[in-house]
């Protein structure tokens, strides 16, 4: 299904079952596109074309209660700007595949993802930001929190092709491991076939600092609550992409509940 987004838009979609959508963001159009994967969602396939000087704020919020596939292609033309967020706190597997092509000068793409990985539910991501023109900018920032037996795999690829001078590709993936028996596999890739570029990658995988945990506990937070608070801190940059304050607050409350922050809870709960 092809949709044309013109002028100023604020589009909201809830996905039940499967959805395939091919939105075209018209030249100089700007707006927000908020997609919720409902509890019964199975698959989302998006082919987005961003035409010249278009601006898009894209956010995907996963509420699917069983395994879901997310497949996204974005083609960005001259001076198109896209800010994307993906928040996935579900106790269910997610297979996420995404290719962004920066096809003309001035194309600018940034993604922030936040994923909570719970017991035996595998989250996989394969993201590529491909620069096929010079003077383009791509940035990937992934945040993941792994609880007991959580499983996270992420391939983040910044690909600058030949004849793309002054292209910039940056990426950072931060994984906070909590509990035991978790698996994290992150492959940061920079494929660069051009000399005059700026590129960087950063990766951290590790447990919370013991001093920080003690400090939080010394103010009355249980281990579970302290870890929950640190987890919220990890996801906050992603959540803060949501401009609608009511929606922001509602999702934040859901997030706090999922990481065990609400009310007096004990570690044995």
Partner 1 sequence: MTELVIQDLHVSVEEKEILKGLDLTVRSGETHALMGPNGNGKSTLLAAVMGNPKFTVTQGTITLDGKNVLEMPVDERSKAGLFLGMQYPSEISGVTNSDFLRSAINARREQPIGLFKFIKEMDKAIEQLEMKPDLAHRFLNDGFSGGEKKRNEIVQMMMLKPSIAMLDEIDSGLDVDALRIVSNAIKQCQSEMNTGLLIVSHYARFYEYLQPTHAHILIDGQIVVSGDQELVEKVDHDGYEWIEKEYHVKAAKEETKQPISLGSCAVKQGA
Count the residues in the chain: 269
CA dihedral angle for residue 101, residue 102, residue 103, residue 106, rounded to 10 degrees: 170
CA distance 32 to 140: 19
Which of 129, 225, 227, 238 is in the footprint of partner 1 by CB under 8 A? 225
Nearest-approach distance from CB 189 to partner 1, in angstroms: 26
Which of 11, 30, 223, 248 is in the footprint of partner 1 by CB under 8 A? 223
User: Residue 234, interface with partner 1 (CB under 8 A)?
Assistant: yes
User: Residue 220, interface with partner 1 (CB under 8 A)?
Assistant: yes
DSSP code string of 100-136: EEE-STT-EEEEEEEEEE-TT-EEEEEEEEEE-SSS-
Angle at 250 between CA 59 and CA 259, to 5 degrees: 90
CA distance 45 to 132: 23
What kind and span of H or E run contains 229? helix 223-239
Which of 20, 217, 243, 257 is in the footprint of partner 1 by CB under 8 A? 217
* 240 three-state secondary structure: coil
CA distance 187 to 153: 8
Q: Give, as ranges, the residues between 197 and 216 that touch partner 1 (CB under 8 A).
A: 209-212, 214-216
Which of 69, 221, 244, 248 is in the footprint of partner 1 by CB under 8 A? 221
Q: Which is nearer to partner 1, 190 or 221 (CB)?
A: 221
User: Residue 238, interface with partner 1 (CB under 8 A)?
Assistant: no
Q: Which is nearer to partner 1, 203 or 213 (CB)?
A: 213
Which of 148, 236, 240, 257 is in the footprint of partner 1 by CB under 8 A? 236
Structure token pair of residue 124: 């996989």
User: Residue 43, interface with partner 1 (CB under 8 A)?
Assistant: no
Stretch that binds partner 1, among 17-25, 63-71, 73-81, 220-228 (CB under 8 A): 220-228
Q: Which is nearer to partner 1, 107 or 216 (CB)?
A: 216
Which of 230, 238, 239, 255 is in the footprint of partner 1 by CB under 8 A? 230
Nearest-approach distance from CB 85 to partner 1, in angstroms: 16
Q: Which is nearer to partner 1, 39 or 237 (CB)?
A: 237
For residue 62, what are the contacts with CB-CB under 8 A and spacing of at least 6? 37, 41, 68, 70, 86, 87, 88, 89, 90, 94
Binding site for partner 1 (CB under 8 A): 209-212, 214-223, 225-226, 229-230, 232-234, 236, 261-264
């Amino acid at each position: 299904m092809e949709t044309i987004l013109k002028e100023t838009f604020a589009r909201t979609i809830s996905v039940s079952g499967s959805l395939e959508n091919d939105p075209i963001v018209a030249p100089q159009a700007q707006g927000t596109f908020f997609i919720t994967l409902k509890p019964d969602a199975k698959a989302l396939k998006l082919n987005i074309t961003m035409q010249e000087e278009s601006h898009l704020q894209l956010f995907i919020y996963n509420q699917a209660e069983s395994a879901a596939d997310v497949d996204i292609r974005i083609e960005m033309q001259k001076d198109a700007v896209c800010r994307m967020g993906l928040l996935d706190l579900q106790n269910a597997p997610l297979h996420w595949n995404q290719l962004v092509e920066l096809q003309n000068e001035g194309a600018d793409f940034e993604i922030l993802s936040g994923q909570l990985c719970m017991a035996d539910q595998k989250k996989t991501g394969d993201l590529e930001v491909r620069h096929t023109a010079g003077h383009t900018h791509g940035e990937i920032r992934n945040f993941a929190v792994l609880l007991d037996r959580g499983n996270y795999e992420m391939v983040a690829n910044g690909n600058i092709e030949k004849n793309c001078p002054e292209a910039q590709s940056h990426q950072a993936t931060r994984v906070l491991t909590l509990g035991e028996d978790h698996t994290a596999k992150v492959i940061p890739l920079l494929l660069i076939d051009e000399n005059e570029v700026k590129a960087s990658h950063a990766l951290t995988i590790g447990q919370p600092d013991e001093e920080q945990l003690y400090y939080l506990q010394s103010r009355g937070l249980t281990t579970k609550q302290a870890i929950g608070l640190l987890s919220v801190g990890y996801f906050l940059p992603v959540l803060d992409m949501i401009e609608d304050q009511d929606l922001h607050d509602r999702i934040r409350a859901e997030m706090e509940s999922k990481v065990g922050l609400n009310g007096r809870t004990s570690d044995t709960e």
